[in-house]
Structure 1
Amino acid sequence: MSDQTPANQLLHLVFGGELKDPAGVEFRDLATLDIVGMFPNYATAYVAWKAKAQQTVDNAHMRYFIVHLHRLLDPSATAGTTGKAG
């Protein structure tokens, strides 16, 4: 781990794709998912999510999501911690 890694790094993934049904969350074709990127906190992930969502606003089947990876990596960690075991 680098000395430059912030102590409060909370990984987030932004991705999206075309849904089979706009009311659901099943993607039409997994091979065409758009992986926008990984972000160190929710604020930067939200900016990326919003930009992609606005680009595809005319397609009702297109959806982008923010996944809180830090919660999956360490479900017991809270938003203000690094999630490292003591």
Structure 2
Amino acid sequence: MSAQEENQQLLHLVFGGELEDISNVRFKDLKDLDVVGIYPNYAEAHAAWKAKAQSTVDNAMMRYFIVHMHRLLDPGTETK
């Protein structure tokens, strides 16, 4: 990894919640969303997502997502 890549903040949000049904991404109750955290790179976000997804494996309606915040904040940014 280059020094420039190490200095970039490629923020990722991990969150989830219970869906109304598994065919759509529509949450049952927005007040109950679980905001896991914001992470400085995809690798850390993926590790957090995986841990939360595995901890809720018994509830088929629970889903966790990774949002690439850096793409929302600066859509012109190219990343590998």
Shared fold per TM-score greater than 0.5: yes
Tell me which residue corresponds to 1:74.
Answer: 74
- Structure number with larger C-alpha Rg: 1
Percentage of identical aligned residues: 67
Q: Which runs of 5+ in 1 are unaligned?
A: 1-5, 81-86
Q: How big is the alpha-carbon RMSD for the aligned residues of Structure 1 and Structure 2?
A: 1.0
Q: Which runs of 5+ in 2 are unaligned?
A: 1-5
**Cα separation, 2, equivalents of 1:73 and 1:46:** 20
Aligned length, in residue pairs: 75
Greater per-residue helix proportion? 2
**Cα separation, 2, equivalents of 1:20 and 1:33:** 13
Tell me which residue corresponds to 2:23.
Answer: 23
TM-score normalised by the chain length of structure 1: 0.84
Whether 2:46 is the aligned partner of 1:46: answer: yes
Structure 1 position 17, deviation (Å): 0.1
Q: Encode CA deviations 1:30-86: one digit per residue, 9 max, x unaligned.
A: 000000000000000000000000000011100000000000000000116xxxxxx
